[in-house]
């Protein structure tokens, strides 16, 4: 399951919370810019 993070309030939520609301909006503050977070793999890119 993917996780999402709100672009304004920064809260994270699962995609089942997104389906409750019409459109893609933060369930907490209603903001419509949502970032997808891939939960299990956190990619760290090291600058050389």
Residues that bind Zn ion (CB under 5 A): 6, 8-9, 26, 28-29, 31
17: exposed, middle or buried (Cβ count in 10 Å: 0-12, 13-18, 19+): middle
Residue (17 or 28) nearer to Zn ion, CB: 28
Shortest distance, CB of residue 46 to Zn ion, whole angstroms? 31
CB-CB contact of 12 with 5 (8 Å): yes
Q: Is 9 annotated as a binding residue?
A: yes
Question: Do the annotations mark residue 29 as ligand-binding?
Answer: yes
Residues contributing to the annotated binding site = 9, 26, 29
């Amino acid at each position: 399951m993917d996780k999402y993070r709100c672009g304004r309030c920064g809260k994270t939520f699962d995609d089942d919370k997104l389906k409750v609301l019409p459109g893609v909006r933060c369930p907490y503050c209603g903001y419509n810019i949502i970032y997808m977070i891939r939960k299990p793999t956190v990619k760290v890119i090291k600058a050389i």
